[in-house]
A and B are shown apart, each in its own frame.
Chain A
Amino acid sequence: MEESKKKQRIGVYICHCGGNISDHVDVKGLRDVMAGEENVIISKNVMFACADSNQKEMIRDIQDNHLDGIVVASCSPKLHLHTFRGVAERAGLNPYNYVQVNVREQCSWAHSDHPDEASLKAAGLIKAGIRRVASSEALYNIEIKAHRSVVILGAGVAGMRASIDLAKMGNQVILVEKEAVTGGNLSRKGALFPTGQKGTELVETLTRQVKNEPAITLFTNATIEKITGSIGNFQVEVAIHEKAGETLTFATGAILVTTGYEPYQPVEGELGYGKSTRVIPIDAFDQLLESKSGELQFEGKTVRRIAFVYCVGMRQTNGNNKYCSRTCCTAAIHSSLVVHEKFKGVKAFHLYRDIRTYGKNEVLYERSSKAGDIYLLYQEKEPPVIEPRGDQLLIRVKDQLTRKRELELETDLVVLVTGMVSRSDSTTVADRLKIPIGNDRFFNEIHPKLRPVETVINGIFLGGSCQGPKNITESVQSSLAAAAKINAIISKETLFLEPIVARIDPKACTWCGKCKEVCEYEAIFQVETNGKLVASVNEPVCKGCGICGPVCPYDAIDLAQFSNAEIEGMIDGFSDVVTLVQKTGTEEVTATKKTVKMMDFPSEWRSIMQSLQENPMTIPEIATSTGLEPALVTWHLMTMNKYFIVEPAGMDDSEEYYRYQLKIN
């Protein structure tokens, strides 16, 4: 990282944010101070920096004045970093020669109780931004070629379904299955909700499609041993266990994890399990139902009464499995219906904690109740006590709905409705892939709502129940969503990655290996330059964490955008003394308010105003009409209300939400 030339033509934009900043911070005073800073060519105030009109003006300024760096002092970079990077780019300036300074969340709002000090702080923040941009380097996205292939881990319903689609979209698929057979949990299941189709049949159909698809290569009895590389170009080492010691390495553009779940295994003595062979988990019960016809027999005896005990191993207040498996209620009720359909005169009792037959499956619950099934509510802290009595089982349960009376039941079978737990090797898999895992040991996505199938590792995706309990529909939905995302990435020939990576100065490095040792991503390797062994960074693999920086005894490592010059420049900027003529901007805002033109508003305000043109609307209605998130609408409306742009107009007909109407036109 050569010492880059300091920027000499810097533009500074200080935003009023319609008053959010200028009410508490002396933006005009700051503008004048910044105009006097070294290398600052332009220093301006703007009503809304993010407004289209201002973006256009910035582009003009950059081009007309040949600016080589810009600083925008406005809101948190979380909101508009990409907006202004885009402005820089459109103006022909490198997007990394722009610095965002947060004078709203971290200044005007945080210190609205001390406006004078807030103005002084803002001066320090902006001066730091100017020094940072002065030392900033132009950076270019890292270009890589993507392999059009995917490695999929786990040939359950989620993995097989995604394989088929990815193959049809023109990708090569390597499907790696740990077991000797495909299908995962469904290969052991009979009639499934909601259609009654058998698990074994579904698996057979999918397996046939997988085998008939020339672009899919299926390895059974195989696991992954090692993964290196990064999005577009991973190297995945697959161990083929049938041929001891054999491993194959595949170059692949993306990885999809569909390793599923394991059924919860009750412990000895839990709810009578192990004390009698007549206490069985639900999977075994479903297989029993499959194998019998005419009369339901178990161990040579006709079964007349069955008790299902719900939530086994799940929703533990004190254990690790705090979650609900969400499919087991429906599965148990569905099994009970299968019993009534296939065999006459069997009575079913359901010992439950809550019934979660959510969505369309609620009708199954109704059908079971109408078929005469009896539902008894127990509490976690007082679970049913189950003991063998002759060739039957005696169950004692406190029913919460009949004044907590203890009831005694005799049944021929107890079915433990066991939920899902993570795979016993999930920690090993997480370690190999370097993806995060929750306390429940299911894999974690980046964001449960907004990015539900991506992991923090670019190019590694999740599908199916390895993320947490899902039914088949949900498992397939997520794995197909991942398949579509993967295809969108690897079908492009070239990928561009963010250039925030570590750079090592070969002159200073002595190859001590310390940086390589701390890098979690194996991004650092040894090279020879000019006859000297030094460390070097594999840029596409580097995650830009900067962890290697502080461990280098020779300070040979800088992270792009976080170089010593940039950080220490900021610290100097904070400490640079300023004198501002102290005044708060309230009157100023009232003065400017009248002259505000529609074009000066942020684009979100304009679309909200547009939707209110005709009639007053509630927040959810505005959200639907503008496509903005309801939370954002709320936030913008509050500010618009403050500046007399909108006003509340009574409650809506349901008396649930306020309506808002335009106050100015």
Chain B
Amino acid sequence: MVTKESPRILVFSTEKISDPGIDQAGLRKIHYSPTVYVISVPCSSGIKPRWVLHALQSGFDGVFIAADGHECSYSPRCPELTNDIIAECQRLMKEKEINPKRIRMAAICSVCAEPFANHMNNFTKILTELA
């Protein structure tokens, strides 16, 4: 159920791999909460923790990172580097007394339409319970 009070989720998604998956969810009319907003970036390992903090401090209830996992064409170390970024975000979040559950990550590939919608529904549920 979507309400006006549905949790607001910011998704960072990768341009070449996750974004087409999210687009496909739309194309196939697989619905998820309309309070999900997406910013595309070249690589999930390029997301700065300050952006995540900025989002969580300006009205977003959660941040979701749609990564390429081992499919990343930029760096074989991408999963490891993205994990480091999330760890750093959670450290900063603790400092600001933000629940570390408000950041999540999953690999979303170019055909992951359903998995993406499922992740959004799940995260919406988790964030609703946190509220």
Q: Interface segment, A33-41, A98-106, A602-610, A622-630? A: A98-106
Is A154 interfacial (CB-CB < 8 Å)?
Answer: no
| A513 shortest CB reach to chain B, Å | 16
By the criterion CB–CB under 8 Å, are A102 and B46 in contact? no
B74: nearest residue on chain A (CB-CB)? A545
Also in contact, A110 and B46, with CB within 8 A (given A436-B73, A456-B73, A562-B41): no
A425-445 CB mask vs B (1 if < 8 Å, else 0) is 000000000001000000000
Residues of A within 8 A of B42 (CB): 500, 544-546, 559, 562
Which A residues between 128 and 169 are near B, CB-CB below 8 angstroms? 128
Q: Does B27 contact A (CB under 8 A)?
A: yes
Tell me which residues across on chain B come within 8 A of A104, comparing CB atoms.
Answer: 26
> Of B49-57, B101-109, B122-130, which binds chain A?
B49-57
Smallest beta-carbon distance A541→chain B, Å: 13
**C-alpha spacing A104/B22, complex, angstroms:** 11
Q: Is A512 in the interface zone, CB < 8 Å from B?
A: no
A183 at the interface (CB under 8 A from B): no
A269 contacts chain B at the CB level, 8 A cutoff = no
**Chain B positions within 8 Å of A128 at CB level:** 37, 39
A364 interfacial by beta-carbon distance below 8 Å: no
Asked if B10 is an interface residue, CB under 8 A from chain A, the answer is: yes
Closest to A112 in B: B29
Question: Does A114 have its Cβ within 8 Å of any Cβ on chain B?
Answer: yes
* Residues of chain B with a CB closer than 8 A to A550's CB: 45-49, 85, 88
Q: Which of A456, A545, A551, A568 contacts B43 (CB 8 A)?
A: A545
Residues in chain A near residue B2, CB distance under 8 A: 114, 117
B46 touches A571 (CB 8 A): no
Q: Does any Cβ of B come within 8 Å of A362's Cβ?
A: no
CB 8 Å contact bits of B32-75 with A (1 = contact, 0 = none) = 10110111111101111111001100111000000000000111
Q: Is the beta-carbon distance between B26 and A555 smaller than 8 angstroms?
A: no
> Could you say which of A114, A520, A571 contacts B75, with CB atoms under 8 Å apart?
A520
Which residues from A are CB-within-8-Å of B51?
A: 564, 567-568, 571
Chain B residues with CB below 8 A from A546, complex form:
41-43, 45-46
Which residue of chain A has the shortest Cβ distance to B89 in the bound complex? A550
Q: Please determine whether B58 and A572 come into contact, CB atoms closer than 8 angstroms.
A: yes
Interface residues on chain A, number (Cβ under 8 Å):
45
- CB of B43 within 8 A of CB of A106, answer no
Establish whether residues B54 and A571, one from each chain, have CB atoms under 8 Å apart when the complex forms: yes
Q: How far is the CB of A439 from chain B (nearest CB, A)?
A: 10
- Interface bits B88-117 vs A (CB < 8 Å: 1, else 0): 100000000000000000000000000000
- A549: Cβ under 8 A from any B Cβ: yes
Tell me, yes or no, whether B20 is within 8 Å of chain A by CB.
yes
A328–B52 alpha-carbon span in the complex (Å): 54
Report the Cα distance A543→B22, complex, angstroms.
24
A629 to chain B, nearest CB (A): 15
In the complex, residue of chain A having the shortest beta-carbon distance to the beta carbon of B49: A550
Interface stretch, picked from A118-126, A297-305, A475-483, A589-597, is A118-126
Interface digits, B1-39 against A, CB 8 Å rule (1 contact, 0 not)?
010101010100000000110111111011110110111
CB-CB under 8 A from A320, the residues of chain B are none
* Residues B46 and A559 in contact, CB atoms below 8 Å apart: yes
- Count chain A CB atoms within 10 A of each CB in B34, B42, B59 and give the residue with the most: B34
Residue A385 at the B interface, CB < 8 A? no
In the complex, which of the residues B20, B32, B78 contacts A110, with contact meaning CB atoms closer than 8 Å?
Answer: B32
Across-interface contacts of B46 in A (CB, < 8 A): 545-547, 549-550, 559, 562
* A120, B34: Cβ atoms closer than 8 Å: yes
Q: What's the least CB distance linking A325 to chain B, in Å?
A: 26
Contact of A78 with B19 in the complex, beta carbons under 8 Å: yes
Residues in A whose Cβ lies below 8 Å from that of B39: 128, 567, 570-571
Q: How large is the interface on B (under 10, 10 to 19, 20 to 34, 35 or more residues)?
A: 35 or more
Tell yes or no: A66 within 8 A of B by CB: no
Q: Which residues of B contact A120 (CB under 8 A)?
A: 34
Interface residues of A in 60-83 (CB under 8 A from B): 76-78
Taking a contact as CB atoms closer than 8 A, the residue among A109, A500, A520, A551 that contacts B27 in the complex is A109
Q: Nearest A residue to B47 by beta-carbon distance?
A: A550
A520-B74, A571-B54, A572-B58 known; A111+B85 contact, CB < 8 A: no
Q: In the complex where A76-B23, A546-B46, A568-B54 touch, is A575 in contact with B29 (Cβ < 8 A)?
A: no
Q: Residue A181 at the B interface, CB < 8 A?
A: no
Smallest CB gap from B56: residue in A: A571
- What CA separation (Å) do A562 and B60 show in the bound complex? 20
* Chain B residues with CB under 8 A of A124: 37
- Whether A461 sits at the interface, judged by CB under 8 Å, is no
Could you tell me if A571 and B58 are in contact, using CB atoms closer than 8 angstroms?
A: yes
Given A518-B81, A543-B74: A571 and B26 within 8 A (CB)?
no
Contact pick for B20, options A78, A559, A572, CB 8 Å: A78
Q: Does A528 contact B (CB under 8 A)?
A: no
Contact bitstring A239-278, B, C-beta under 8 A = 1, else 0? 0000000000000000000000000000000000000000
Contact indicator B45/A545 (Cβ below 8 Å) = yes
Question: Does A574 interact with chain B (Cβ within 8 Å)?
Answer: yes
Known: A568-B51, A571-B60. A125 touches B75 (CB 8 A): no
Complexed CA–CA distance, A472 and B81 (Å): 42
Residues of A within 8 A of B22 (CB): 105-106
A549, B65: Cα distance in complex, Å:
16
Choice from A114, A568, A575 contacting B34 with Cβ under 8 Å: A114
Bound-state Cα–Cα, A105 to B117, Å: 13
Q: Decide if A614 is an interface residue (CB 8 Å cutoff).
A: no
Known contacts A117-B2, A571-B58, A574-B10; is-contact A547 B26 (Cβ 8 Å)? no
15 new A-B pairs (CB below 8 Å) besides A120-B34, A544-B42, A546-B45? A78-B23, A105-B26, A106-B23, A106-B38, A109-B27, A112-B31, A113-B31, A121-B35, A500-B42, A520-B77, A545-B46, A545-B75, A550-B49, A571-B55, A574-B8
Q: List 28 A-B contacts (CB under 8 A).
A: A105-B23, A105-B24, A106-B38, A110-B26, A110-B34, A111-B31, A113-B31, A117-B6, A120-B34, A518-B45, A518-B81, A520-B75, A544-B42, A545-B46, A545-B74, A546-B42, A546-B45, A546-B46, A547-B46, A547-B74, A551-B81, A555-B48, A568-B50, A568-B51, A568-B54, A574-B37, A574-B60, A575-B60
What are the nearest 9 A-B pairs in CB distance?
Answer: A546-B46, A105-B26, A117-B34, A545-B74, A110-B26, A109-B26, A105-B23, A111-B34, A575-B59
